[in-house]
Amino acid sequence: MPLLLAVGPSCGSTSPDREPDLRILFIGNSLTYANDLPRMVSQLGRSDPSRHTVVSSVAYPDYSLEDHWARGDALAAIRDGPWDIVALQQGPSALPESRANLVEWATRLAAEIRGAGAMPAMYMVWPPLGRTGEWDAVTASYTEAAAATHALLLPAGEGLRAARTADPVLPLFETDSFHPAPMGSYEAALVIYAVAANVSPNGLSARAGGSAYPPGQVAVLEASAADAILRFPSP
């Protein structure tokens, strides 16, 4: 997966009557680039006419944060900012050794992110549906990493769990029962944008110009995002 270029209506300076752009860099793997999640976040930024939301991404298949550190593209992108938020994501990291790895490399990257003048954020993911018993452990791993790095917590995985509980027939996942379907990525985007912009996800889709989904489903997605953000606030 190549480095994605910045997406947004404008990457330049703002006019005096506009707020500064909200600039978000994503560093992750297929759970980031599936369905172009960063672009969904940018599109939700249309809900705020006072500023643009500009996004970019460094994402490769099956990559961990350690892999990103070794490759160097992510570090270069961090330093090439400026960014307001840099969202970090790897696999579920449910096992104790995987959690330790997540915390270690999130800590290293967070130091680079802060050195570049941005805020680190942990994009919480989810387990494969065949291992839903690990969901609490995945949530705990990302929550611990956010606490260790004093980062924003983006509880997308808990948003998906809440939406799946509220309406089990929602098409949130692909046939591999792990990667998000477009609706699943949209749920993650609702969580991520709401936390990044410090706004409520309720009514966010309408404020952004609407979505591809029926109003009843959108209401479930937005309520589930709000529930996840309420239960798993940033440290």
Tens-digit pLDDT profile for the chain (235 aa)?
444 444 444 344 445 556 799 999 999 999 999 999 999 999 999 999 999 999 999 999 999 999 999 999 999 999 998 999 999 999 999 999 999 999 999 999 999 999 999 999 999 999 999 999 999 999 999 999 999 999 999 999 999 999 999 999 999 999 999 999 999 999 999 999 999 999 999 999 999 999 999 999 999 999 999 999 999 999 8
For residues 9 and 71, the answer to whether their CB atoms sit within 8 Å is no
Pick 19-231's CATH classification: 3.40.718.10, 3.30.980.20, 3.40.50.1110, 3.30.70.20.
3.40.50.1110
Distance, CA of 7 to chain centre: 15
| Helix-then-strand count for the chain, H and E | 10, 6
What is the rounded distance in angstroms from the CA atom of residue 222 to the CA atom of residue 143?
Answer: 21
